[in-house]
Structure 1
Amino acid sequence: MRAAERLHRVAVLVLDGAKPLDVGIPAQVFTTRASMPYEVRVCGAAPGLVAGGDGLSYHVAHGLEALAWADVVFVPGYRFPDRDDPPPAVVEALITAHERGARMAAISTGAFALAATGLLDGRRATTHWHYTRALAARYPAINVDENVLFVDEGTVLTSAGAASGIDLCLHILRRDLGVAASNHAARRLVAAPYRSGGQAQYVPRSVPEAVGERFAATREWALHRLGEPLTLEHLARHAAVSPRTFSRRFVEDTGYTPMQWVMRARIDLARELLERSERSVEQIAADVGLGTGTNLRLHFHRILGTTPTEYRRTFTRGE
């Protein structure tokens, strides 16, 4: 780095209940060194002690003035994001920093703090999979994408759960300094420069919990017959209602049509077999009622954003 070059300025905003990994990722990735022309300031609503999550607290040296100084503002995730908005002074400082030209980057539930500013309205965004529905319900103007590791909307970026903060930071490095610098940082962190797929593969189940008990017996019946042909007519007949009534009420209960739900249930069973058996992709496709490996790969990638082979490699330990 030439002496005349100004360091890129990074502020990490620590809110009450901040998660330690979320705070540490940008602070470590952008730490100042010869290969990293960045300066990092960790800040809070005011200098001093900030109560964190998971038994940790933080003593921050800077207050909100750091946001007026920064080129990039990171908002790490924090506990109970769906309960209260950040303090008004924090919301105003984030808006002002963005208007001044700073990029906003939220890690995990930090997306809720950016949502409170209105900066995500009309934009695509993500957060930790456990909170995607809460974010969408509380801020309906946001296009919440639950399947990705991060979203880049130019001056506003969001990421999924904590580890995807690394993916987001490496992406920002690629934008700022190029692929070589990003790969160098990934090696230093012992992290993958790119990760295949999205966060959907880390969600325990693709099938959503139903709102009520209506059709519970039919859903249970279907789960034990995923390897067999299942049509809307089969399901409706078991529920003893017309296909039209079954379809309408099923969507009300689950948010998915009956056949979308069946497909996700089949993909969940395929995930379990990939993790716990040595059966081939072709065998698993037959087991879950998808017929061929090509069909399984198509729907697996559409729902989880990765391939069966990559999924098995990620979630099983090699010998």
Structure 2
Amino acid sequence: MPIPIALVFAAGISSLDLAAAREMFGVNRAGAGLVDPWYDFAAYVVDPVQSCDACRIDRLCSLDELAKAHTVIVPGWPDLTQAPPTALVNAIRDAHEAGARIVSAGTGAFVLAAAGLLDGRRVATHWAHADLLAARYPRVRVDADALYVDEGDILSSAGGAATIDLFLHLVRLDHGAAVAKALAHRLVMPHQTADEQAPPSAPSEPGAEDRVLTEVLSWAAGRLDQQVTVEDMAQQANVSRRTLVRRFRAGTGMAPLQWLLTQRVQLAQRLLETTHLSIEQVATQTGMGTAATLRRHFSRSVGVPPDSYRRWFRGRGRGDWSPVPSA
């Protein structure tokens, strides 16, 4: 069955957030060979607004339907001087209590905070409003540097292009890394995981001019089942260790071993999703060595142990749309 997603629509919300949500979740991807069924995308309109953006929403839902959705998305909120409608705040709180996954984009975090869902939680919001959010809701742990934050049942982005990254992250959680990567390719955008987040100024992929780094990345990616060191990669590139580290940081935004670990975890996800290999076998094929090492790194990166991730991912196919538990 398709995953029900409800987006909160209000006059003046971010058009980028709306367009990104509709493109990610409101377009049937079955014909593209991705996943069938995909998502059941609808919007709850806060006020009787008439605009071109509103006309682009194919299906509207009631406040009761919003409270029963699997995922509720609150885009960047247009007016931070006014409290969000009480009925909307209550519906979002009810949805969360019923087990829904709640997602905010940019200043949408203010609505979640008003519902009391962010107390004691780490949250991302737009840097220009981070201080205001922290001052208005002192129990909220505002992270002004994060592009997006995944707290399991509560997810948030810094707004803007970071929201697109977060939405793609949701697709990865719901349908697996391979589907998310295929969708990113179809949308002509890089596939960035939570572990690969970097400041906006840092490129996520190496430049075309750095052929040496590109060749090293390909060489290392083909040896994830082996123990590869920084010295091995430097020797392969015929450069010093210091030069390799500098090129890695400039090209990927990460240190070499951090990049290598991210690739191992992503490979583990694909193997858990698509094979019946044991956890020990997955650990061997990803170069983790032991099941204990795999569990430690996988849990830290994904938020759940590998065996729980496999059970959860396969449960999706049986219509179990319960959110992934937070670590």
Distance 1:50 1:157 in 2: 29
Q: Distance in 2 between matches of 1:199 and 1:15?
A: 30
Asked if structure 2 preserves the Cα contact closer than 8 Å seen for 1:129 and 1:199, the reply is no
Alpha-carbon distance between aligned partners in 2 of 1:86 and 1:170, rounded to the nearest angstrom: 27
Structure 1 partner of 2:133: 135
Residue type of the alignment partner of 2:198: G
SS of 1:95's equivalent in the other structure is helix
**CA distance in structure 1 between the aligned counterparts of 2:181 and 2:17, rounded to whole angstroms:** 21
Q: 2:69 aligned with 1:70, yes or no?
A: yes
User: Shift of residue 200 of structure 1?
Assistant: 6.3
Given the alignment of the two structures, is residue 106 of structure 1 paired with residue 100 of structure 2, yes or no? no
Distance in 2, Cα, partners of 1:99 & 1:66: 14
Deviation, structure 1 residue 78: 2.7
TM-score by length of structure 2 reads: 0.56
Query: In the aligned structure 2, how far is the partner of 1:200 from the partner of 1:136?
Result: 22
Partners of 2:3 and 2:197 lie apart in 1 by 30
* In 2: Cα distance, 1:197 partner to 1:122 partner: 22
Q: CA deviation at 1:65?
A: 2.7
Deviations 1:36-80 (A, max 9, x none): 42110022225x4267xxxx6525633323313310111111323
Which whole-Å CA distance do the structure 2 matches of 1:310 and 1:111 have between them? 29
Give the secondary structure class of the aligned counterpart of 2:49.
strand
Q: What is the deviation of 1:32? A: 2.5
DSSP 3-state at the match of 1:158: strand
1:15 aligned residue: 10
Give how far 1:144 is off. 0.6
Quick one: which amino acid aligns to residue 69 of structure 1? Answer: K
Q: Match of 1:66, SS?
A: helix
Equivalent runs, 1:47-196 vs 2, <5 Å:
48-49=48-49, 58-59=54-55, 61-80=60-79, 82-194=80-192, 196=196
Compute the RMSD of aligned alpha carbons.
2.5
Identity %: 38
Equivalent residue for 1:41? 42
Give CA deviations for 1:226-267 in whole Å, capped at 9, x if unaligned.
xxxxxxxxxxxxxxxxxxxxxxxxxxxxxxxxxxxxxxxxxx
Give, in whole Å, the separation in 2 of the partners of 1:199 and 1:117.
29
**For the residues of structure 1 that align with 2:98 and 2:45, how far apart are their CA atoms?**
19
User: How high is the TM-score relative to the length of structure 1?
Assistant: 0.57
**Counterpart residue identity of residue 23, structure 1:** L
Which residue identity is paired with 1:95?
Answer: R
Q: Please tell me whether the aligned partners of residues 5 and 72 of structure 2 are also in contact (alpha carbons under 8 angstroms).
A: yes
CA distance in 2 between partners of 1:87 and 1:20 (Å): 20
How many pairs does the alignment contain? 201
Aligned partner letter, 1:74? I
- Distance verdict in 2 for CA 1:50–1:138, change over 3 Å: farther
Q: How far apart, CA to CA, are the structure 1 residues paired with 2:197 and 2:29?
A: 31
Q: Give the conservation status (yes or no) of the 8 Å contact 1:11–1:73.
A: yes
Runs of 4+ displaced beyond 3 Å: 195-202, 306-311
Distance 1:155 1:197, change over 3 A: closer
Larger Rg: 1
Structure 1: any 5+ residue segments left out of the alignment?
Answer: 1-5, 203-293, 299-305, 312-319
Query: Is contact 1:146–1:200 with CA below 8 Å preserved after alignment?
Result: no
2: distance between equivalents of 1:197 and 1:68? 31
Q: Residues of 1 paired with 2:50 and 2:72: CA distance?
A: 18
Secondary structure of 1:58's aligned partner: helix
Letter in 2 for 1:12: L
Task: Tell me if the contact between 1:32 and 1:39 (Cα under 8 Å) persists in the aligned partners.
Answer: no
1:180 counterpart letter in structure 2: A
Unaligned runs of at least 5 residues, structure 2: 203-241, 254-327
C-alpha displacement of 1:26: 1.4
Partner of residue 21, structure 2? 26
CA distance in 2, matches of 1:15, 1:88: 14
Matched residue of 1:86: which SS?
coil
Question: Cα deviations across residues 80-120 of structure 1 (Å, max 9, x unaligned)?
Answer: 3x312210000000000111111000111111111110101
